[in-house]
Amino acid sequence: MSLRVMLADDEPYILEGLSKIIDWEAEGYEIVKKASNGLEAYEYIKNNKVDIIFADIQMPKMTGLELLQRIKEENLSDAYFIIVSGFNDFKYAQQAIRYGSMDYILKPVSKEGLQEILAKASVLKDMELKELRDNAGMKRAYLIQNLMMLLRGKFEDRHLDYIKTNLRLSEKIRYIHVSFDSIRALDEYDETELLSIKSRMLECCRNYLGANEDHCIKDIPGYEEEYEIGFIYCDYMAKERDITEKEFMEGLSRTFERENLGIPIILLIGKSVDDLSKISHSYSSASTLRSFKNFRERKPIYFYEEEMQVNEKKVALCKKELDALIEAIELNDKNGIDNCTDKLFDEMETASLVSETINMNTNYLLFRLIHLAIEQDETVNQEEVMLYISENVFDTGIARGSRVHTKNFAHEFADYLITLRKNVSRGVLADIEKEISENYSQNLTLRELSQKYYVNSSYLGQIFKKKYGMSFKDYLSNYRVQVAASLLLKSDMKIAQIAEEVGYKDTDYFINRFIALKGCTPSKYRKNFNI
Whole-number Å distance between alpha carbons of 281 and 286:
9
Q: For residue range 78-92, what is the model confidence (pLDDT) as tens digits?
A: 888 888 887 665 566
Contact between residue 239 and residue 172 where contact means Cβ atoms under 8 Å apart: no
CATH code (residue 446): 1.10.10.60
- The domain in which residue 58 lies consists of 3-128
Give Cα 510 distance to the centre of its chain. Answer: 20
DSSP state of 380: S
Residues 185 and 280 in one domain: yes
Domain boundary among 368, 387, 422: 422
- Counting Cα atoms < 13 Å in the Cβ hemisphere of 415 gives 14
Predicted TM-score (pTM) of this structure: 0.59
DSSP state of 456: -
Residues 389 and 430 in one domain: no
Residues 186 and 229 in one domain: yes
Looking at the domain assignment, is residue 8 inside a domain? Answer: yes
- The closest of 38, 6, 37 to 19, measured between CA atoms, is 6
Residues 414 and 431 in one domain: no
Supply the pLDDT for residue 333.
Answer: 93
- Give, rounded to a whole angstrom, the gap between the first and last alpha carbons of the chain: 39
Supply the pLDDT for residue 195.
Answer: 75
Mean pLDDT of 230-256: 94
- Bridge-based pairing of strands 301-303 and 265-269 is parallel
Looking at the domain assignment, is residue 148 inside a domain? Answer: no
What interhelical angle do 403-422 and 334-350 show, nearest 10?
Answer: 140
Residues 73 and 184 in one domain: no
Mean pLDDT of 339-363: 80
| pLDDT higher than threshold 80 for residue 135 | no
Looking at the domain assignment, is residue 153 inside a domain? Answer: no
Domain boundary among 366, 389, 422: 422
Contact between residue 21 and residue 111 where contact means Cβ atoms under 8 Å apart: yes
Confidence of residue 337 (pLDDT cuts 50, 70, 90): very high
Residues 344 and 267 in one domain: no
Mean pLDDT of 489-510: 88
Residues 362 and 374 in one domain: yes
Residues 397 and 433 in one domain: no
Looking at the domain assignment, is residue 223 inside a domain? Answer: yes
Mean pLDDT of 55-70: 87
CATH code (residue 59): 3.40.50.2300
Residues 292 and 343 in one domain: no
| pLDDT higher than threshold 80 for residue 456 | no
Residues 451 and 511 in one domain: yes
Looking at the domain assignment, is residue 139 inside a domain? Answer: no
Domain boundary among 422, 448, 475: 422
Confidence of residue 224 (pLDDT cuts 50, 70, 90): very low
Residues 173 and 280 in one domain: yes
Q: For residue range 173-208, what is the model confidence (pLDDT) as tens digits?
A: 999 999 888 766 666 676 677 778 888 888 999 999
| pLDDT higher than threshold 60 for residue 132 | no
Residues 177 and 292 in one domain: yes
Q: For residue range 260-317, what is the model confidence (pLDDT) as tens digits?
A: 888 889 999 999 999 999 999 999 889 888 878 878 888 899 999 888 765 545 557 7
CATH code (residue 200): 3.30.70.270
Looking at the domain assignment, is residue 156 inside a domain? Answer: no
Looking at the domain assignment, is residue 211 inside a domain? Answer: yes
Give Cα 23 distance to the centre of its chain. Answer: 41
Looking at the domain assignment, is residue 142 inside a domain? Answer: no
Domain count, the chain: 4
Supply the pLDDT for residue 284.
Answer: 87
Residue 186's alpha-carbon distances to 128, 258, 386, in angstroms, are: 41, 20, 17
